[in-house]
Structure 1
Amino acid sequence: MTLYRQLFTWMLAIFFLLILAVTGIELNTTRNFLLTQQSAEVNNTINSMGLALAPYLEDDDKVATESVINALFDGGFYQEVRLKMLSDGSEIIRNYPVTVEGVPNWYIALDLFPVITEERTFTSGWLQLAEVKVVSHPGYAYREMWHSTIQLGVWIGALFVAAMLIIAVQLSRSLRPLATITDRAKEIARNKFGDPIPLPPTTELRTVVKAINQMSSQLEAYFDQQAKEADRLREHAYRDTVSGLGNRSFFVGQLKSWLTESAVGGLVMAKVDLISDTYQNQGFEQGDMIVTQFSKKLNTTISDADVTASRISKDEFVILAPNCSSEELMIIGESLLAIVNDMQHDPMGISPPKVAIGLAVNNSVNRDPSVLLAQADNALTQARNSPNHPISMIDQTANDSSMGKQQWKSLILDAIAHEWFVFKFQSASTSDQNVIHQEVFSAIEKGQDYYGAAHFLGAVEQLELGESFDRYVVNHMIERLIDDPALGPIAINLTQNSVTNASFIRWMSTAMQKHRNLAGRLFFEIPESVFVRFPDHVSLLTEQAHRFNFGFGVDNYGRNFQSLDYLNKFKPSYVKIDFAYTSNLDDEAQSHVLASICRTAHNLNITTIATRVETEAQLNKLSELFVSGFQGFIFEKKVENHG
């Protein structure tokens, strides 16, 4: 029971008892008055009777005596009148019907008024003439008492209703600051910090509000500081301080992650001689300025959220471009060439570009990173042979049977139309094998041909088929959850194309509202790059998810170098740590960074999940670094062994 209800109930109970006491006193006073009035009336009636009957009793005139009795007692509230004449012992007896009109029987049964009996002897001098006995009837008293009870009940009822409303309104106003404090405490428990609570007029609550506001601001500052500390540590380990791009360690982690996930796309390696010449001829300060200038132009050129650039040495830069075709890779290379030409300040265009750019196209899953790097390095060497246009591409996929964009588009649309998609689930579990959720993996089965998600997801994004594909998967999973109440919770990966599409967001909002009973069994997973680059779009979707209590997670957590404070803004249910942070746990620096970014999420009550956990040693190490969820072969192996 809430404090408001307790106070309201007790105040009403006390007021009711007071009203009840006042009512009892008032009714008792009325009763005593009516009882006294009844006794006085009987006494006065007998006295009047004695005066009226005296001459007739002396003359022993029974007829006149009886007439007087009839005149006196007809229409009165009397049960019985008995007159015994002492001269001859004769009696005159009158009995009147006992009826009380307008008063319920249960009220009369309360026996509020006793029957009053008066006996008197009439005399004339010393001579006793007659004895009289009058028994009253309390009908009049009951009738008046009943009317008083009704009137008092109406007034008391109206007063009680009015008092109840006044107490409710005033109590609500008085406790409104306390309700605000309670709501803020709940928000703080969920690590939500808003504007300070206005100070209430009540002295006691004012002190509490001040404490709540101070605690909220301190916690918010603590989480901000912790997020910034994680950012600083992450940047120190993975970010080049001069260019602001990722460093060699960051690039290696991203490369391994990409090659393990899909390996479809390409690599751009650029050796910028303009930078090395500047360092050599003009010094470090001017060289750093050129690096900064080049990096800013490079970031402006790269618009794709999945494309990442790194500086791996003084004058070497690498761009990792997942899901890019050879044509798109060449466009990136030409853009780099244009940047260097612009920075050379050679309006006549006489000097050759001081850069060499090598392009390597790849579509082989699980390819060795060293092989791809060697391919890019060979392309870079070949580019040196064309000083006027130093770009070279090595495309191992040029002569294979890889499908083009239109073929992929046709296959994906046909798979949606003909239900060629198949789905597998991989569990994300705690260290003691309690399932957090099951991630959905899609594949296409067309006859004997099988295409895993790594083959076609890049095409889905490039061809802007994300909305159609995600709608299909979400609808299919909703039907599965409805048909199988034991299934779930499951997590569905959403594409960037969908999350930034207003039509898809409206559709998702309608679906969540319609199937709100699936909240807790259905999660949505959104890439971190979308949170960073398209916060306004993703907020529309996450607000609806919070509204209907659907959970959502962050994929590739920590991949982008922007601040992690977006966690506090969007409040995801979980984050999946980017593989770059978990690929080499023996590296002490990497472990510190991993612990820092995981602690930031952990302190916001956000579950942290590591993927591709293969061994018990990995699991134990990750458990020490604020990682609470694990996904990978280790649990599949445990399930198989258990089976």
Structure 2
Amino acid sequence: MNLTRMLTTRLTRFWLWSVLTLLFVGMAFAAAGYWRFVSQQQLLQVQVLQQQLQHQYQDNQLQDADPWLPSMLALTDVVELRLWQGRKLLQQYRGPIVESSRYSMRFTVDAAHNIDVELLLRSPFHHYYPQMGDWVVMLLSLLTLVVVLRLGYHWYSQQLDGMETVAERCRLILQGHYSRARNLSSASRPRFINRALSKLLDELADARKERARFDDFIRTNTFLDHDTHIGNRLLLDNRLNALSNAHGMMAHGVLLLLEFEELEQLNGDGQMVDYLNLNVAHISRLLHSQANSVFARRSYNQLAIVVTQISLAEAEQLAAKVMKLCSSLLPREMGNRNNSCHLGAAYFKLGDNQQQLLEEAEMALRAAQIQGINTWFMYDKGAVDAEFARGSVRWRSFLELALEQRRFVAFTQPVVDVDGNLHHQEVFTRAKEPNGNLVRATLFLPMAVKCGLIAKIERQTIERVVFDLLPKANADAVFSINLSEDSLLNAEFMRWLRTLLLEYRDLAPRLIFEIDEAVASGAPAALAPKLRLIRKMGARLCVDHVGQQVISSQYIVEGGFTLVKLHRSLIKQIHLRTENQLFIRSLLGGLHKTDIEIMAEGVEQLEEWQTLRVLGVSAAQGPWFGDPEPA
């Protein structure tokens, strides 16, 4: 843009100086012609006078020249005539003209006697000096010329200003910033070029939206149930796989299996689907307050619910509410309405086997069906981790004390690119108890959200990175930090973050802020100014856990994210799951020709990483590359 402005400015000045040079040359030629004309006129008059003097001298009448010489001198603009013989002045005649500015001209009358005539002439421009009217005409002409030049310069500058806009739009297109190029004015000159660019950019935007809709269609048909539009069995299996590893489940929670009996009594498939959709709508509203919950259709008459980070008491309350809700929605067409829906629940904790969890949930469902009424049954192994039993008051006291004593420990996990180089390090937080034990974030973060302390915890994490980790790390080291929705919507937290990034602006480009997909896609209007503030400060944005929900990827481009991290449910055994590969191909296709990098989480095997590299994923993290270690 600056180069284009400089070139257009130089071109405009070149045009102006060219016009002025042509004007100057024209005026110089006009002045030279004018001077030549008047000088030639006077020279002709002097030649006539010279011939007359030679003729009079030959007739010896030059001594008596008083009758005719003065008029002849006045006619030829001669101020004085002197007749010399060598250095002797023979005669001198003064004409009627009195002029202070004059020049001399000398010629020979009689070479034999060395007789010369010297003429003192006044300026040849005397008769051609401009009068008052001439000065007025010249002044008006000069003013007209200045106005025309000024208007021409202004018009020429306007025409070239449009070229700057065209150049800027072309630069943005080459850099892949199509939306910014579209937002530039298309009304500037040259208009037909700008209109053509705007039309092409509009068509490109429509094509990309259509591609996003097509990608959404692919993901929808892969992971969603066609009738109820919730997750299908494949999505449920992926999420359960993501919650487990070789050592068992990685979090605690509950699995609910809800089964409806005698659906064939309903009139046709349409009424059955309507009934299922009615239950799905009410249960979805009930699960809205449960973060990271999974709701899927396991079979034609069975629904599955997975809720993590929930205590045993809360799981029992949830099961009772779901059962009560479904019992109230049973249609009258069912003959045995008191024994038409049953719910089995299995509570799991860290280290539990995934397959055993499914078996326990099915056993609980069969136990509820045996009772012969609409009821639910919880499979309780009687071994609930003591960490889950902390009450909310004890959790608040523990977290506040940890904040006061700064007992939150930072762990970092490497993110490695396809070349084996360190791309950045993701920062995790664990809370240290007074006895030295470390409490995992999966345990205390849900309680921190409930207690309203999550913003303070994330503030301490950011301070640890900016004040401790970045100054001690290599100059090119980059760290990523997770931000919750509560922190982003907290005005005090955002003011503090803005002040911090302004004060340490040189470190801001080495920071990446990760935001969960559910947060980034849930309220884009509310988060847009917050995300824009972070980008203006120089930090980068990453959307995390992509793939948990089946939604369009358009929010990634509109939100200004530069990195995308795929959820571990898509990565688990991806070399054996063609549908997950299709999902990633679709996402990569939707983000084609953008600067957004696609990364993967939870890579555990070499085969998974090799498959991801073939698909086009640029970096990954997980146990295969290294577990989180104390920073």
TM-score after normalising by structure 1: 0.73
1:424 alignment counterpart: 411
2:520 alignment counterpart: 531
Shift of 1:12: 3.0
SS of 1:367's equivalent in the other structure is coil
Shift of 1:487: 4.7
Preserved contact between residue 323 and residue 459 of structure 1 (Cα < 8 Å): no
Shift of 1:196: 11
Distance 1:229 1:395, change over 3 A: farther
Pairwise CA RMSD of aligned residues?
5.0
Preserved contact between residue 573 and residue 608 of structure 2 (Cα < 8 Å): no
- The 5 Å alignment of 1:229-628 reads 229-259=214-244, 263-272=250-259, 275-279=260-264, 284-303=269-288, 304-344=290-330, 352=338, 354-364=340-350, 366-380=351-365, 383=368, 387=373, 390-392=376-378, 394=380, 396=382, 398=384, 400=386, 402=388, 403-446=390-433, 448-480=436-468, 483-484=471-472, 486-512=475-501, 515-585=504-574, 586-628=576-618
Shift of 1:189: 4.9
AA in 1 matched with 2:403:
I
- 1:165 paired to 2:154: yes
Shift of 1:299: 1.0
Distance 1:259 1:409, change over 3 A: farther
Preserved contact between residue 346 and residue 361 of structure 2 (Cα < 8 Å): yes
Preserved contact between residue 428 and residue 438 of structure 1 (Cα < 8 Å): yes
* Separation in structure 1 between the aligned mates of residue 476 and residue 409 of structure 2, nearest angstrom: 16
Preserved contact between residue 444 and residue 451 of structure 1 (Cα < 8 Å): yes
- The 5 Å alignment of 1:192-211 reads 205=193, 208-209=196-197
Distance 1:233 1:28, change over 3 A: closer
* Separation in structure 2 between the aligned mates of residue 614 and residue 336 of structure 1, nearest angstrom: 36
2:24 alignment counterpart: 23
TM-score after normalising by structure 2: 0.75
1:224 alignment counterpart: 209
1:64 alignment counterpart: none
2:105 alignment counterpart: 118
Preserved contact between residue 307 and residue 319 of structure 1 (Cα < 8 Å): yes
* Separation in structure 2 between the aligned mates of residue 508 and residue 439 of structure 1, nearest angstrom: 19
Preserved contact between residue 268 and residue 329 of structure 1 (Cα < 8 Å): no
Shift of 1:31: 6.2
SS of 1:635's equivalent in the other structure is coil
Distance 1:336 1:27, change over 3 A: same
Distance 1:436 1:136, change over 3 A: farther
* Separation in structure 2 between the aligned mates of residue 136 and residue 397 of structure 1, nearest angstrom: 128
Preserved contact between residue 605 and residue 624 of structure 2 (Cα < 8 Å): yes
2:76 alignment counterpart: none
Shift of 1:526: 0.8
How many residues get paired? 579
* Residues 488-513 of structure 1 deviation map (CA, whole Å, 9 limit, x = unaligned): 32211112322344444454455555
Task: Name the stretch that deviates more: 322-331 or 228-237.
Answer: 228-237
* Separation in structure 1 between the aligned mates of residue 587 and residue 205 of structure 2, nearest angstrom: 17
* Separation in structure 1 between the aligned mates of residue 620 and residue 280 of structure 2, nearest angstrom: 36
SS of 1:633's equivalent in the other structure is coil
* Separation in structure 2 between the aligned mates of residue 214 and residue 252 of structure 1, nearest angstrom: 43
* Residues 5-39 of structure 1 deviation map (CA, whole Å, 9 limit, x = unaligned): 54553343133123113213424544676798899
Preserved contact between residue 337 and residue 353 of structure 1 (Cα < 8 Å): no
Task: Name the stretch that deviates more: 158-167 or 290-299.
Answer: 158-167
Distance 1:122 1:359, change over 3 A: same
Preserved contact between residue 106 and residue 119 of structure 2 (Cα < 8 Å): yes
Distance 1:122 1:495, change over 3 A: same
Preserved contact between residue 545 and residue 551 of structure 1 (Cα < 8 Å): yes
Shift of 1:336: 0.5
2:97 alignment counterpart: none
* Separation in structure 2 between the aligned mates of residue 513 and residue 618 of structure 1, nearest angstrom: 40
* Residues 89-116 of structure 1 deviation map (CA, whole Å, 9 limit, x = unaligned): 699xxxxxxxxxxxxxxxxxxxxxxx97
* Separation in structure 2 between the aligned mates of residue 373 and residue 449 of structure 1, nearest angstrom: 32
* Separation in structure 2 between the aligned mates of residue 201 and residue 423 of structure 1, nearest angstrom: 56
1:77 alignment counterpart: none
* Residues 167-219 of structure 1 deviation map (CA, whole Å, 9 limit, x = unaligned): 2134335x48736853773586547795898688968537734xx524642x3
Preserved contact between residue 42 and residue 118 of structure 1 (Cα < 8 Å): no
Shift of 1:577: 0.9
Shift of 1:283: 5.3
Shift of 1:611: 1.6
Q: 622, 625, 630: which one pairs with 1:635?
A: 625
Give identity over the alignment, percent. 17
Distance 1:596 1:34, change over 3 A: closer
Task: Name the stretch that deviates more: 192-201 or 427-436.
Answer: 192-201
* Separation in structure 2 between the aligned mates of residue 399 and residue 554 of structure 1, nearest angstrom: 32
Preserved contact between residue 305 and residue 533 of structure 1 (Cα < 8 Å): no
* Separation in structure 1 between the aligned mates of residue 565 and residue 605 of structure 2, nearest angstrom: 18
Preserved contact between residue 574 and residue 609 of structure 1 (Cα < 8 Å): yes
Q: Name stretches of at least 5 consecutive residues in structure 1 with no aligned partner.
A: 52-56, 59-80, 92-114, 145-150, 638-643
